Amino acid sequence: MDNDNILNNNNFDDYIDQLAELVMAKIVEKYGKVYPLRFSDNQEEILIGELARLTTTLALLEDRQEYEKCSIIKNRIRNIENKLKNL
């Protein structure tokens, strides 16, 4: 194996850092500044997002037949639904 053709770890890390910077620059050029992400302060939007996440998690756990975890998730979903009703 030819050692001239193999990047050492330092060169590879430098290459990856340069590549990451170029990719981020292209993203900012195309979409504008995306970091830091600005999440909503709206309580209803936050609760709906959490409800969606928990519903997806529940479906995955049901598929895996992890019913004890399902019970915990269902309780959290009920709590969020109650909070949404009270808004």
Mean pLDDT of 68-77: 94
Query: Do 52 and 87 fall within a single domain?
Result: yes
Averaged pLDDT score across all residues of the chain = 82
- pLDDT of 31 reads 72
Q: Can you give the residue range of the structural domain that contains 44?
A: 39-87
Query: Of the given ranges (11-15, 28-32, 46-50), which has the lowest mean pLDDT?
Result: 28-32
Query: Do 45 and 24 fall within a single domain?
Result: no
Query: Do 27 and 9 fall within a single domain?
Result: yes
Residue 39 has pLDDT above 80, yes or no: no
Rounded Cα gap, residues 55 and 47, in angstroms: 12
Query: Do 32 and 46 fall within a single domain?
Result: no
Query: Do 48 and 87 fall within a single domain?
Result: yes
Residue 36 has pLDDT above 60, yes or no: no
